[in-house]
């Protein structure tokens, strides 16, 4: 008369979720990843060899990013996707990591997390709406201040309520 395998797995996961050490370790790892992301974005160099854009073809193969190749890829991806918002996202994940590290045993506050994600995406769209030209950072020129996602959201808002209404 044993319990089904799925019930054992659910019990194991529930114990892990309530474990103080596992929560602290997860929060600490998220904080460390956030610090690495901050350093990667701040030390971005457009001439680093990455998988994105033309810099991989023109580069001498060296990486000038403080975090290395992974940092160069991460910074390029964040800047291409979110534009200026790439400087804000690591700080939001740092706050989330700290809250996980310091919190008592309770469920993650999903409505607040979704609201912060929506606010972040709105910031990217607002950057695109306010500054419609290309921006330059780290020797690289980006098509939109809001990145790819902010540009698409800005375009959607402009098509629905025009530029003045979208801002």
Determine the pLDDT at residue 57. 43
Residue 70, CA distances (Å) to 8, 37, 102, 105 in order: 37, 10, 28, 33
pLDDT of residue 29: 92
The torsion of the CA quartet 88, 93, 97, 100, rounded to 10 degrees, works out to: 110
pTM above 0.85, yes or no: no
What ranges make up the beta strands (E) of 96-167?
Answer: 135-137, 140-142
pLDDT at 22: 82
User: Cα–Cα distance between 17 and 139 in angstroms, integer?
Assistant: 44
Query: Cα(31)–Cα(117) distance, rounded to whole angstroms?
Result: 18
How far is it, in rounded angstroms, from Cα 48 to Cα 39? 15
Six-digit token string for 155: 């375009």
Query: In the chain, what is the straight-line distance between the N-terminal and C-terminal CA atoms, in Å?
Result: 63
pLDDT at residue number 108 = 64
pLDDT in 10s for each residue of the chain, 167 residues? 455 655 555 676 677 667 778 888 888 999 999 999 999 999 988 777 677 655 544 545 577 888 888 898 999 889 888 888 888 889 988 988 888 888 765 666 778 888 888 888 888 888 888 877 677 776 666 677 778 888 888 888 888 887 667 66
Distance between CA atoms of residues 138 and 46, nearest Å: 5
């Amino acid at each position: 008369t044993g319990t089904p395998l799925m019930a054992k797995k659910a019990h194991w996961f529930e114990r892990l979720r309530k474990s103080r050490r596992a929560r602290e370790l997860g929060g600490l790892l998220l904080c460390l990843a956030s610090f690495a992301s901050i350093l990667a974005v701040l030390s971005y160099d457009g001439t680093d060899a990455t998988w994105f854009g033309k810099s991989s073809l023109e580069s001498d193969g060296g990486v000038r990013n403080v975090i290395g190749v992974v940092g160069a890829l991460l910074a390029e991806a964040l800047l291409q996707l979110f534009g200026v918002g790439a400087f804000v996202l690591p700080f939001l994940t740092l706050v989330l990591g700290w809250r996980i590290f310091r919190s008592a045993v309770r469920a993650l506050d999903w409505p607040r997390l979704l609201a912060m994600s929506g606010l972040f995406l709105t910031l990217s769209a607002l950057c695109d709406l306010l500054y419609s030209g290309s921006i330059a950072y780290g020797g690289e020129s980006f098509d939109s201040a809001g990145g790819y996602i902010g540009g698409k959201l800005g375009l959607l808002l402009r098509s629905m309520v025009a530029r003045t209404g979208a801002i």
